Amino acid sequence: CGNDRLIRWYEGKEEGEIVVGGNGYGNQSNQLNGPTDLLFDDEGNLYVADCDNNRI
């Protein structure tokens, strides 16, 4: 069970900001289903391993 979303927290803030997901689990482009890992490349692009959807 989980929220299937990634949240960015800024130092000093009491609330985070949803970066990706948060629209229920599923396989649409704005949904995640089992995010397990993330990576930023040298250009700042974010990649998310979406395990249960078998995609990055």
Tokens describing residue 40: 């930023």
pTM of the model: 0.74
Q: Provide the sign of the torsion angle of the four alpha carbons 12, 30, 34, 24, taken in this order.
A: positive
Domain extent, residue 21, equals: 5-53
Q: In the 8-state DSSP scheme, what is residue 34?
A: S
Cα distance between residue 26 and residue 9, in whole Å: 24
- Say how far apart CA 1 and CA 34 lie, in whole Å: 9
Q: What is the pLDDT of residue 29?
A: 83
CA 7 to chain CA mean position, Å: 7
For the cut 90, the answer to whether the pLDDT of residue 24 exceeds it is no
Number of domains in the chain: 1
